[in-house]
A = this chain, B = another copy of it.
Amino acid sequence: MDNNLLAEAINLTLFGMGFVFVFLTLMVLVTTVMSLLVKRFQPNLNLATTSNIEFSSDIDEKTEAIIKKAIKMHTKT
């Protein structure tokens, strides 16, 4: 019985590690291809960056940086 259990465990290990490698290797490939495609067809996607942040320009950049840090300090701690 115990030997059977051990055999199962070995099987699981072989298949498990194998699958982990297959999966992550596949991710390397797919990710690399994806990055190449993205770089090739530099998309004109109008991707949001900070478009939904309404922040009028009369605040100088340094103040803004200070405030952002303050808010970050507040939210991340």
The answer for the CA separation of A66 and B63 in the assembled complex, in Å, is 8
Size category, A interface: 10 to 19
Closest chain B residue to A58 by CB distance? B66
Specify how many copies of this chain sit in the oligomer: 3
A interface list, Cβ under 8 A from B? 50, 52-56, 59, 63-64, 66-71, 73-75, 77
Interface SS of chain A: helix, strand, loop or mixed?
helix
Partner of A74, one of B56, B59, B75: B75
Please name all residues of chain B whose beta carbon is closer than 8 Å to the beta carbon of A75 when the two chains form the complex: 74
Give chain B nearest CB distance to A67 CB in angstroms: 4
Closest chain B residue to A72 by CB distance? B54
The answer to whether A59 and B66 touch across the interface, beta carbons within 8 angstroms, is yes
